[in-house]
Structure 1
Amino acid sequence: MLLLVMRHGRAEPYSKSDETRALTDEGRDDVAAVCKERASELAQVKTIWSSPFVRTRQTAKIVAETFEREVEIQELLTGDTPVDDLLNALAEADEDIFPLLLVSHQPLVGSLVNGLCGTGDEHPMGTSSLACLSAEVWARDCADLEWLQHKP
């Protein structure tokens, strides 16, 4: 199974709350550029899960509109969610939703990618970074990093 993990694009530094911070124009452009770089891989995605925060929904929408997919909002994808909670949700997910794209925040995306691969902090997840992992089960140290795309 394939799991793609994307960190939201660059967001405005200030808003009424962290949840309402929106993407900047540069952030939107970076997400679109990553979509272009990884178009063949993203075209295979069956399901997109996004954090409910504005910047992640906007990031997921760019991907979804590019590849004609729907976005499912998942409260579980906020940055402070314990990785084990997300791993449990992935383990319970039906296999037919994969390849699955998760759009979320730091520290969750970095902890998830590195935790699944057993790589400590080896693989950084900057804004607009997109990682592709493969595994038969979604558990710590059980996945292989297929590739990691940073914004061009």
Structure 2
Amino acid sequence: MLLFVLRHGHAEPFSNSDETRALTDEGREEVRAVCKERASELAQVRTIWASPFVRTRQTAKIVAETFGLEVEINENLTGDTPVQQLMDVLAEADEALFPLLLVSHQPLVGSLVNGLCGTGNEHPLGTASLACLKADVWARDCAELEWLQHKPS
């Protein structure tokens, strides 16, 4: 099974709350560039889950519109969710959802990718970074990192 993990694009630094921070124009362009760079791979995605925060919903919407998909909001994708909690959700997810794209925040995206792959902190994810993981089961140290795409410069 394939799992794609995307960190939201660059967001405005200040807002009334962290949940309402929106993407900047630069952030939107970062996400569009990654979609273009990895279009053939992202075309495989069947399901998109996004954090309820504004910037992740905006990021997911760009991907969804590009590939004709819907976005499902998932409360388990906020940045402070314990990584094991998200791993448990993935382990219980129906295989028909995969390839699945998760759109979320740091530190969750980095902890998830590195935790599933057993790579410590080897693979940082900056804004608009997209990772592709492959596994038969979604559990700690059971996935392989197929590739990691940082935002094109």
TM-score interval for Structure 1 and Structure 2 normalised by the shorter chain? over 0.9
- 2:117 corresponds to: 117
- Note if 1:85 corresponds to 2:88: no
- 2:75 corresponds to: 75
Secondary structure, counterpart of 1:26 in structure 2:
helix
Query: Any idea what the Cα deviations from partners look like across 1:69-95, whole Å, max 9, x if unmatched?
Result: 000000110000001100110011000
- 1:36 corresponds to: 36
Give the distance between the partners of 1:117 and 1:89, measured in 2 at CA: 17
Unaligned runs of 5+ in 1: none
Moved over 6 A (4+): none
Q: Number of residues paired by the alignment?
A: 152
Displacement of 1:18? 0.2
Give the distance between the partners of 2:110 and 2:87, measured in 1 at CA: 13
Give the distance between the partners of 1:97 and 1:37, measured in 2 at CA: 23
- 2:5 corresponds to: 5
Unaligned runs of 5+ in 2: none
What's the TM-score once normalised by structure 2's chain length? Answer: 0.99
Give the distance between the partners of 2:148 and 2:29, measured in 1 at CA: 18
Displacement of 1:124? 0.7
Identical columns (%): 82
Displacement of 1:129? 0.1
Give the distance between the partners of 2:127 and 2:136, measured in 1 at CA: 28
Letter matched to residue 76 of structure 2: L
What's the TM-score once normalised by structure 1's chain length? Answer: 1.00
Give the distance between the partners of 1:68 and 1:3, measured in 2 at CA: 18
Letter matched to residue 21 of structure 1: R
Displacement of 1:9? 0.2
- 2:131 corresponds to: 131
